[in-house]
Amino acid sequence: MAIILRLDRVMADRKMSLNELSEKVGVSNVNLSKLKTGKVSAIRFSTLNAICTALHCQPGDILEFTEDEPET
């Protein structure tokens, strides 16, 4: 199972910087940067809610599911 984070794309579409999103969401730049680069294994619903509120988007705009390739 692979969940891909598209936070960088949504931020670019909204022309919002990491610093601006950090201020609006109340999450450190470091943690948002990890989310943006996909270097996290979990995200709190409260954080996801705050990000979606700040970016005026849906969770599906930020998270994408892709199936793993079958092993041969």
* Residue 1 pLDDT class (50, 70, 90 cuts): low
- pTM, rounded to two decimals: 0.86
- Indicate whether 53 belongs to any domain: yes
**Domain count within the chain:** 1
- Indicate whether 51 belongs to any domain: yes
- Indicate whether 26 belongs to any domain: yes
pLDDT tens for each residue of 20-49: 999 999 999 999 999 988 898 899 999 999
- Indicate whether 16 belongs to any domain: yes
Q: What is the CATH number of the domain that holds 58?
A: 1.10.260.40
- Indicate whether 72 belongs to any domain: no
On average, the pLDDT of the chain sits at 92
Q: Are 21 and 54 in contact (CB under 8 A)?
A: yes
- Indicate whether 9 belongs to any domain: yes
